[in-house]
């Protein structure tokens, strides 16, 4: 049996189960400011703490939605090891993405992954779809949910 076939059979037994929970990451104002600079998205709700405290219902600045989403790679790093025979992993995109709650500066986030689907895309590629929920510490509503696709590439 090939490494891909073994990984596929194992993954099929894990459909609809939680496959990982990441470590917490602090999203502070310096991180938000750096993201604003890199992406040229310097809207005041992200980078002006005094104005955001006075003029928004959030009590301060909030992280960019795409900053929150960009942490998905780090959360995945905490949760997924390379499979036997796997040579690399490739981000394949999203099937669904919803931003549910703003992330206030100073919040801690973590990712929670549940395997939704798995299939062989080719003789060397395993396609996995995980529901990613990015949780905000102390909040019932998550920051976002996404159905994230990833390719596990195996030796030929």
**CB count, 10 Å around CB of 128?**
24
Could you give the 3-state DSSP secondary structure of residue 19?
strand
Return the beta strands (E) in 35-124 as ranges: 86-99, 107-120
Distance between CA 36 and CA 19 in Å, rounded? 32
User: Superfamily for 3-25+63-154?
Assistant: Hotdog Thioesterase (3.10.129.10)
Q: Mind listing the pLDDT tens digit for each residue in 52-106?
A: 999 999 999 999 999 999 999 999 999 999 999 999 999 999 999 999 999 999 9
Q: How confident is the model at residue 155, as a pLDDT?
A: 86
Q: Mind listing the pLDDT tens digit for each residue in 25-58?
A: 999 999 999 999 999 999 999 999 999 999 999 9
| Cβ–Cβ under 8 Å, residues 90 and 76 | no
Q: How confident is the model at residue 6, as a pLDDT?
A: 92
**What is the C-alpha radius of gyration for the chain, rounded to an integer number of angstroms?**
18
């Amino acid at each position: 049996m090939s490494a891909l076939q073994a990984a596929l059979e194992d993954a099929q037994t894990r459909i609809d189960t939680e496959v990982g929970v990441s470590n917490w990451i602090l999203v502070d104002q310096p991180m938000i400011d750096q993201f604003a600079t890199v992406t040229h998205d310097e809207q005041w709700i992200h980078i002006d703490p005094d104005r955001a405290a006075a003029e928004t219902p959030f009590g301060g600045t909030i992280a960019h939605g795409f900053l929150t989403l960009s942490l998905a790679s780090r959360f995945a790093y905490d949760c997924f090891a390379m499979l036997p025979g796997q040579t690399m992993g490739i981000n394949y995109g999203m099937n669904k993405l919803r931003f549910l709650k703003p992330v206030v500066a100073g919040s801690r986030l973590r990712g929670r992954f549940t395997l939704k689907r798995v299939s062989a895309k080719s003789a060397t590629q395993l396609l996995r779809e995980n529901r990613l929920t990015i949780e905000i510490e102390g909040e019932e509503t998550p920051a976002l949910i996404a159905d994230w696709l990833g390719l596990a590439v195996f030796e030929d």
